[in-house]
Structure 1
């Protein structure tokens, strides 16, 4: 199981939210990072969708989790993943390539939005903050 997670919304360090605090206390910040994708404003939170268009980039942060199994179980529940949540689930957790600011690439877990989006709600900058 990978110990890296890429976050791009309310789990980032800039948020005063219990889940972002949980991530910060259970993982080490590795740096700012980005991935291929499109970002949409869903409600008060964003959703990432896959994209193959070269300039579709989502910006966020990369962390190394100290206890991935435990932390991912809590984050999965927060992101409404699992059989106990309404289907289709709000998000899916997937591995994807992430690029750090120094140009290095790593594989990391992230949450992909799993419902239809309104194209007018796209965050074209790829930055939630």
Structure 2
């Protein structure tokens, strides 16, 4: 099982959220990273969808999970796509190629938004913090 996770919203470092603290307490921070995608403001949290142009990038953080099976099950429940969650789920967990800001590429899990974004506000910078305020 893959042990890396790319996060781009309230699970990033610096957010005062219980699941962000759970992640940081149970994973090693590997660094800032980007991946192809388009970011939208869903509510007080974002949703990432596949890129529609080569310039579409989302900024986030990559973590190496200490106990990936256990923590991913918790995160799947948090993201609404766990085994017992209602379907269709708002997110789906996939493997993506991410580029570390420090250099190099790696594969990591990422939560992809699974609903229509037509009525959501696009975040052109790809940085969730730019949509707050």
Give the shorter-chain TM-score range: over 0.9
- Indicate if the aligned counterparts of 2:4 and 2:107 stay in contact, CA closer than 8 A: yes
- The aligned residue for residue 125 of structure 2 is 125
- The aligned residue for residue 3 of structure 2 is 3
Query: 1:19–1:80: structure 2 CA closer, same or farther, 3 Å change rule?
Result: same
Deviation at 1:118, TM superposition (A): 2.8
Deviation at 1:53, TM superposition (A): 1.4
- Indicate if the aligned counterparts of 2:48 and 2:112 stay in contact, CA closer than 8 A: yes
Deviation at 1:85, TM superposition (A): 1.8
Matched, 1:86 2:80: no
- Indicate if the aligned counterparts of 2:98 and 2:107 stay in contact, CA closer than 8 A: yes
The TM-score normalised by the length of structure 2 is: 0.93
Matches of 1:75 and 1:93 in 2, distance apart?
A: 10
- The aligned residue for residue 35 of structure 2 is 35
- The aligned residue for residue 62 of structure 2 is 62
Query: 1:126–1:119: structure 2 CA closer, same or farther, 3 Å change rule?
Result: farther
Q: Which runs of 4+ in 1 moved over 4 A?
A: none
After superposition, the CA RMSD in angstroms is: 1.1
Gaps of 5+ in 2: none
Indicate the SS of the match to 1:28: strand
Gaps of 5+ in 1: none
Query: 1:103–1:119: structure 2 CA closer, same or farther, 3 Å change rule?
Result: farther
- The aligned residue for residue 73 of structure 1 is 73
Query: 1:7–1:107: structure 2 CA closer, same or farther, 3 Å change rule?
Result: same
Matches of 1:65 and 1:19 in 2, distance apart?
A: 13
The TM-score normalised by the length of structure 1 is: 0.96
Deviation at 1:52, TM superposition (A): 4.5
Deviation per CA, 1:66-96: give whole Å up to 9, x if none. 1000100000000001342221101000000
